[in-house]
Structure 1
Amino acid sequence: FLIYISLFSVSLFPAICRYPLGMHEGTIQDEDITASSQWYDSTGPQYARLQREEGDGAWCPACLLQPEDVQFLQIDLHKLFFITLIGTQGRHAHATGKEFARAYRIDYSRDGERWLSWKDRQGRQAIQGNIDTYDVVLKDLRPPIIARYVRVIPVTELPMTICMRLELYGCAWFDGLESYSIPEGGTIAAPGYPIVFLNDSTYDGFQKNRHLYGGLGQLTDGVLGLDDFTQSHQYRVWPGYDYVGWKNENFSTGSIEMEFQFDRQRNFTSMKVHCNNMFSKGVKIFQRVECLFKPQLIAEWESETVGAATVLDDKNPSARFVTIPLHQRVGKAILCRLYFADSWMMISEISFQSGESLLFTASSHCFEYRAPGSAMNTSGGPETLMPPTNPWTEEKVDDSSTSILVGCLVAIILLLLIVIVIILWKQYVQKRLEKAPRRILEEDATVRLSFYSYSIVGSQAQIHQANPTYERVFPLDLEYCQPAPLLHKLPELSQSAEDSACSGDYAEPDLTKSTPHQGFQNNVSHYAETDIVSLQGVTGNNTYAVPALTVDLLTKKDISVGEFPRQQLRLKEKLGEGQFGEVHLCEADNLLQFLGRSSTESTSHAVLVAVKMLRSNATKSARNDFLKEIKIMSRLKDPNIIRLLGVCVRDDPLCMITEYMENGDLHQFLSQRESSTPFALSHNIPCVSCAHLLLMATQIASGMKYLASLNFVNRDLATRNCLVGNCYTIKIADFGMSRNLYSGDYYRIQGRAVLPIRWMAWESILLGKFTTASDVWAFGVTLWEMFSLCKEQPYSQLSDEQVIENTGEFFRNQGRQIYLSQTLLCPNPVFNLMLKCWSRDIKDRPAFDIIHHFLAEQMNGAI
């Protein structure tokens, strides 16, 4: 006889069987997480827990991972689990880490002895991993795996350091089925139809003489075949993929034998088989079944069989479950013979129910059901049971309380429905909130970023406003405004914002004096565009934004540096190049003698210098800018500003020779170091202390204080534009934009301008206004880089477009703007300084003399 699907279906449904198995929660104990190796004790396998920041933040295998290496993290779940999903994460370590696995593969075992390699439905082993250190990447395992032991093996194409955190998701495999043995599936090649392959393509056992044994595959993957066996679920696979099928004429007995082996002896209540019944194509469910039991694997099959006959259906072609009662027979293995009812028999899923499978935990006669399921009822519609609250629980059924248990089941199902709806709703709301920054439809509001191009005509500075080079339309406010007016003023600015960002309250500078800037409380040192000249550097960036009168005063004087013999320069390395020229690292012979420095050491040895070289085919405008830059740079004399040492201007190519620091730029210097700890010091690992960082930050503030006193606006302050000398000496330079190494720090606007948007103040991005106050904002970002040891880019979790949109949130000032977070090394007073540098209103940002004084006090306190 035929028993259709009942309420107590226990077939697994991968879409619901997605419980975290305990890496994050701690259900999986430290002793159950092992690894092939570890870099330090603080990066051992016990720290490989998703979303946890313990130890040094992750599991890291020892040494650089080579492409041929096999390093693994192993998890013992202590019993079989149906694993459908894996989540991975890199080593963030509160923004100090930078290691993650770009790809990995999985090995698994059910007994700890025989290990199998997971493959997807196209036969690929590698799983795409992470692209940054913090974001969690979830990957469905299709097909899922049934295992007790899981090994996650990072893979790489290039030698690199790898660190990982992870979580496994799934539910307990209460069937206890360890393997099944079946005949190999067949192939249908009927005229007018596509070839249908009915083999078990994910089987992880052995194959011999057209027989499969010792493994699990498609009959236990939780995927139910469709009504039409020629169609498959959307896995980019071949027709018939969802079924394993056999042809009657290939079996002389008119039946197929299936043997099932379990983890232990069980008391079986039923077997469920999901069959195809497309009788129009010669496919029907089996007509009867006979099953034998074996109490132990080494024992003989018991002679008494359990059998059932089915009622064949020639009216409804829907695929369906057939449930076979097994009458509480005890065994560790089952052998079933399924007899053909037509030309073909096709099965997509088999599951077993035993006294250990229908699990309930009784508390006032309430219980927990063992696993979710999905099945087809007699009308072909799906019937889904709700998931359990905890897949680790295991209790026995109280047969004397069946009616009460059924009542509790209905109540629990309703409760679980409500809980699932609430969870899904919370996840939906959370995802919406996490999509930062907020996106609004284009028709809500539009604005174009305002940038200006400058040209020098004769001795007079004339400003020609060009069409905005940034043409991307993005929203700033819910009230629609035409783009053209917004080029000059954004709607609904608060009075404070108008005071700090609009031209109505600009202070005219006293250019006859060079007094330090005294803050933004009353006078805002911001010059209208008609007052500013931006010199075009040889590498394409604006060297400085300088008041026009200052340029005139400085350039009327002769160059205060001498002509250096060009033949005494030897090129060593190209540091970078740009639109108008190149920057080279050179050795300058007899430079100290040229500079007139007396020294006890020889003055004839070569000195490393940076040489900016203007191309001979540069435009006349670029040539004039280059000569003006030389004159201005020759006047800049501050211990924390790169100094102009000499020029070569008598013939082409024009060159200016500047200082170069032996330790390179600050970004590279810090990224190659770790925080100063006893471990790092004892193992001679290059490191820096908080006091060192404060010392270097104080010097940068000192150099910027000097530039601000001259009313110079830097426009590109960042660690890449600071050079490091001996004893942590810092000098501000401007080579960063020219180097390919830092091309990712600049956002290209319609193929022309490039801007360091992650360092720029909101008014610079939206209004094109660069001031000493916008340099203060960039200084705050530079501080953040330093105290994260340059391990990641500012706003690394945001795309360039999202960074720009985030400036709109600063403009709106509704509390949705995203700030850089405090790093592990950063003291609270320094982070509070950063937040002040990122104040929305210009007048609220501290001046550089105040910043310098504050950092000097912090440095003295740290020594």
Structure 2
Amino acid sequence: MSEKEGSSSDGAATKKKDKAKVSRTSLILWHTHQNDPTAVKKLLEEDRSLVNARDYDNRTPLHVASLHGWIDVAKCLIEYGADVNAKDRWNNTGQNGSHSEPKPVTPPLSNKCDWEVDPVELDFTNAHIVGKGSFGEIVRASWRGTPVAVKRILPSLSDDRFVVQDFRHEVNLLVKLRHPNIVQFLGAVTEKKPLMLITEFLRGGDLHQCLKEKGALNPTTAINFALDIARGMAYLHTEPNVIVHRDLKPRNVLLVNSSADHLKVGDFGLSKLIRVKNSHDVYKMTGETGSYRYMAPEVFKHRKYDKTVDVYSFAMILYQMLEGDPPLSNLEPYEAAKSAAGGLRPVFRAKSYSPELRELTEHCWDADMNKRPSFLEILKRLETIKEKMGTDHHWNIFTS
């Protein structure tokens, strides 16, 4: 074997070893979150170095175990040499179990009277639960006679300073957002328990349910929906105050009404609280566990990332609107994310939309995050495709 061949072989072996390491890192974080000490111990017996594995927010398995109070898992990790003083991205250690910012973020008190709501104004007489999470629930209620969505923190957690801190951070974020394609914040209850965040209630439900019922959308509808999502995301991504959603998926895109003629991007409140407080790759709401299917490869691999993770997720949503099925629907969510991180992408089957739309989707889910277009560029390309479809539309009825 030549020296060059030997070097190439060594490089391939190193890459394979690194890939396996990433997979085991995901597994130990997952099993820790699931409170499975047996699985955690088995992984540590195979590779003791996993005890101090890090996710993309620099959190170790011990951070996750400490947060949830998983005593047996924590004991196992410490037995195998876990660093109890390891610090995550926010400078917190596994001892305090926090995944939150170290400095409390309080709402802008100067204008607090503009949005602080007296809970007696909220009518829960005919309320019904829209969704549940580890830290609270989303309820449809009435405020001053108007239907609203109320994200209510569990009373038992209303004294947890980290939960309160994250809740106030969400309020501070939402109070500044004003855009037709972003779910509108209306107010919050911060001075009494339970803590509540109030947003407009959108009667059309979410895009996930819409696609489940209707299947593939016609290209014109898909483009109009994509434009609405891209407009909202372009607003969030505008510098200098860039907001990265990090969990863009059909469930977090809401239809304004039953006619489904207008979309808004939502879930900056409770969903973000859940994601931050739990392991990075686990997101649990009613009827769904995990955001893996729409997760960018760099997030799955625990690498540094930027706002283009939202562009990748957008591509997966666009694919689902055009094809009718979730991306990589033949795989379980975790396996889908793992396969996508390895380079696999969904297969296009429908013939009813333009090659330009397919090219845009492929551009948005590029493995190299630096090659993905911005949402402003996406908007321009979608408008161009829409104009072209308008001139060619009379031919569409003759094509399959």
Relative to the length of structure 2, the TM-score reads 0.65
> In the alignment, what sits opposite 2:244?
713
Is 2:228 aligned against 1:699? yes
Q: Which has the higher helix share?
A: 2
> In the alignment, what sits opposite 1:660?
201
Contact 1:780-1:834 within 8 A present in 2 as well = yes
Is 2:177 aligned against 1:636? yes
CA distance in structure 1 between the aligned counterparts of 2:313 and 2:107, rounded to whole angstroms: 26
> In the alignment, what sits opposite 1:581?
136
Letter in 2 for 1:613: R
In structure 2, runs of 5+ residues without a counterpart are 1-14, 33-38, 41-46, 57-87, 93-98, 272-282, 391-400
Deviations 1:252-302 (A, max 9, x none): xxxxxxxxxxxxxxxxxxxxxxxxxxxxxxxxxxxxxxxxxxxxxxxxxxx
> In the alignment, what sits opposite 2:296?
761
In the superposition, relative to structure 1, how do residues 444 and 841 fare at CA in structure 2: closer, same or farther (>3 Å)?
Answer: closer
Letter in 2 for 1:580: F
Kindly state the Cα deviation for residue 724 of structure 1 after the two structures are TM-superposed: 0.5
Deviations 1:324-365 (A, max 9, x none): xxxxxxxxxxxxxxxxxxxxxxxxxxxxxxxxxxxxxxxxxx
Q: Which has the higher strand share?
A: 1
Kindly state the Cα deviation for residue 861 of structure 1 after the two structures are TM-superposed: 3.2
1:610 to 149, 154, 163: 149
Aligned residues: percent identity? 24
Kindly state the Cα deviation for residue 617 of structure 1 after the two structures are TM-superposed: 1.0
Contact 1:616-1:653 within 8 A present in 2 as well = yes
> In the alignment, what sits opposite 1:96?
none
Letter in 1 for 2:120: R
Kindly state the Cα deviation for residue 699 of structure 1 after the two structures are TM-superposed: 0.8
Which residues in structure 2 correspond to 1:196-215 (within 5 Å)? Answer: none
> In the alignment, what sits opposite 2:288?
742
CA distance in structure 2 between the aligned counterparts of 1:483 and 1:835, rounded to whole angstroms: 34
Deviations 1:15-45 (A, max 9, x none): xxxxxxxxxxxxxxxxxxxxxxxxxxxxxxx
Kindly state the Cα deviation for residue 712 of structure 1 after the two structures are TM-superposed: 1.1
Contact 1:566-1:648 within 8 A present in 2 as well = no
Q: Could you say what secondary structure the match of 2:147 adopts?
A: strand
Letter in 2 for 1:757: Y
1:572 to 127, 146, 154: 127
Bigger radius of gyration among the two = 1
Contact 2:319-2:361 within 8 A present in 1 as well = yes
Deviations 1:529-558 (A, max 9, x none): 85899xxxxxxxx9xx99x99x96975764
CA distance in structure 1 between the aligned counterparts of 2:119 and 2:19, rounded to whole angstroms: 62
1:781 to 316, 319, 322: 316
> In the alignment, what sits opposite 2:360?
833
CA distance in structure 1 between the aligned counterparts of 2:284 and 2:121, rounded to whole angstroms: 25
Contact 1:450-1:768 within 8 A present in 2 as well = no
Contact 1:555-1:632 within 8 A present in 2 as well = no
Contact 1:784-1:823 within 8 A present in 2 as well = no
Letter in 2 for 1:781: M
CA distance in structure 1 between the aligned counterparts of 2:91 and 2:205, rounded to whole angstroms: 31
Letter in 2 for 1:617: S
Contact 1:581-1:612 within 8 A present in 2 as well = yes
2:335 to 802, 812, 819: 802
CA distance in structure 2 between the aligned counterparts of 1:553 and 1:740, rounded to whole angstroms: 29
CA distance in structure 1 between the aligned counterparts of 2:231 and 2:389, rounded to whole angstroms: 18
Kindly state the Cα deviation for residue 741 of structure 1 after the two structures are TM-superposed: 2.3
Kindly state the Cα deviation for residue 648 of structure 1 after the two structures are TM-superposed: 2.5
> In the alignment, what sits opposite 2:348?
822
Letter in 2 for 1:787: L
Kindly state the Cα deviation for residue 860 of structure 1 after the two structures are TM-superposed: 3.2
CA distance in structure 2 between the aligned counterparts of 1:759 and 1:488, rounded to whole angstroms: 18
Kindly state the Cα deviation for residue 808 of structure 1 after the two structures are TM-superposed: 4.9
Kindly state the Cα deviation for residue 700 of structure 1 after the two structures are TM-superposed: 0.3
In the superposition, relative to structure 1, how do residues 771 and 617 fare at CA in structure 2: closer, same or farther (>3 Å)?
Answer: same
Which residues in structure 2 correspond to 1:253-332 (within 5 Å)? Answer: none
Deviations 1:539-582 (A, max 9, x none): xxx9xx99x99x96975764452425534423421011112111
Kindly state the Cα deviation for residue 469 of structure 1 after the two structures are TM-superposed: 5.1
CA distance in structure 1 between the aligned counterparts of 2:52 and 2:121, rounded to whole angstroms: 55
Kindly state the Cα deviation for residue 819 of structure 1 after the two structures are TM-superposed: 0.9
Which residues in structure 2 correspond to 1:438-837 (within 5 Å)? Answer: 445-447=20-22, 468=29, 487=54, 530=89, 558-559=111-112, 560-570=114-124, 571-588=126-143, 590=144, 606-618=145-157, 619-673=160-214, 688-709=217-238, 710-726=241-257, 728-734=261-267, 739-743=285-289, 746=290, 756-767=291-302, 769-789=304-324, 792-809=325-342, 817-824=343-350, 825-837=352-364
Which residues in structure 2 correspond to 1:50-65 (within 5 Å)? Answer: none
In structure 1, runs of 5+ residues without a counterpart are 1-439, 452-466, 474-479, 490-528, 534-541, 591-605, 676-687, 747-755, 810-816
Letter in 2 for 1:714: H
Kindly state the Cα deviation for residue 851 of structure 1 after the two structures are TM-superposed: 1.0
Contact 1:640-1:699 within 8 A present in 2 as well = yes
> In the alignment, what sits opposite 2:388?
861
Which residues in structure 2 correspond to 1:178-197 (within 5 Å)? Answer: none
Kindly state the Cα deviation for residue 830 of structure 1 after the two structures are TM-superposed: 1.6
Deviations 1:463-508 (A, max 9, x none): xxxx9456789xxxxxx9975898599xxxxxxxxxxxxxxxxxxx
CA distance in structure 2 between the aligned counterparts of 1:806 and 1:738, rounded to whole angstroms: 21
In the superposition, relative to structure 1, how do residues 800 and 657 fare at CA in structure 2: closer, same or farther (>3 Å)?
Answer: closer
Kindly state the Cα deviation for residue 689 of structure 1 after the two structures are TM-superposed: 3.2
Kindly state the Cα deviation for residue 857 of structure 1 after the two structures are TM-superposed: 2.4
Contact 1:776-1:837 within 8 A present in 2 as well = yes
In the superposition, relative to structure 1, how do residues 763 and 530 fare at CA in structure 2: closer, same or farther (>3 Å)?
Answer: same
Which residues in structure 2 correspond to 1:840-855 (within 5 Å)? Answer: 840-855=367-382
Deviations 1:706-746 (A, max 9, x none): 11123211111011111101461111112775642233xx1
CA distance in structure 1 between the aligned counterparts of 2:194 and 2:53, rounded to whole angstroms: 43
Relative to the length of structure 1, the TM-score reads 0.32
In the superposition, relative to structure 1, how do residues 642 and 862 fare at CA in structure 2: closer, same or farther (>3 Å)?
Answer: same
CA distance in structure 1 between the aligned counterparts of 2:234 and 2:51, rounded to whole angstroms: 37
CA distance in structure 2 between the aligned counterparts of 1:663 and 1:852, rounded to whole angstroms: 24
Contact 1:839-1:845 within 8 A present in 2 as well = yes
Deviations 1:357-399 (A, max 9, x none): xxxxxxxxxxxxxxxxxxxxxxxxxxxxxxxxxxxxxxxxxxx
